[in-house]
Amino acid sequence: VKVGLQAIIGLIPGLGAVLGFILSLHPFFIAYRIGVPQRLLVWMFINRLFDMVLGIIPFIGDILGAMFKINLWSYRVVERWVEK
């Protein structure tokens, strides 16, 4: 099973979820800079918040966060928008 850097950072108790959230804002800001519509930006941000809240739950949250792969989803949303 492939896991991203955020899934590994998320294993740090307490700080991992918040640090992962901060690092995951990078694709969000890139999307903003290239002009992704506001509705997609809001959806990306809400998903990031959801992932952070999941990450606060010890162990189970880390597993669920790794399964959902929110960052990969965000990249795909931006990629589809750029292709249109």
Indicate if the pLDDT at residue 62 is higher than 70. yes
Across the chain, what does the average pLDDT equal?
Answer: 84
18-55 pLDDT, tens per residue?
A: 888 888 888 889 899 999 999 999 999 998 888 888 87
Using CB atoms within 10 A of its CB, is residue 1 exposed (0-12), middle (13-18) or buried (19+)?
exposed
Q: What per-residue confidence (pLDDT) applies to 22?
A: 86
The mean pLDDT value for 1-26 works out to 77
Q: What percent of the chain has pLDDT over 90?
A: 23
pTM of the predicted protein model: 0.73
Going by C-beta distance under 8 Å and a sequence separation of 6 or more, which residues neighbour residue 63? none
Residues 9/66, Cβ–Cβ less than 8 Å: no
Q: Exposure string (b/e) for 17-44, b if CB count within 10 Å is 16 or more?
A: bebbbeebeebbeebeeeebeeebbeeb
**32 vs 13, residue with greater confidence:** 32
Distance of alpha carbon 82 from alpha carbon 84, whole angstroms: 5
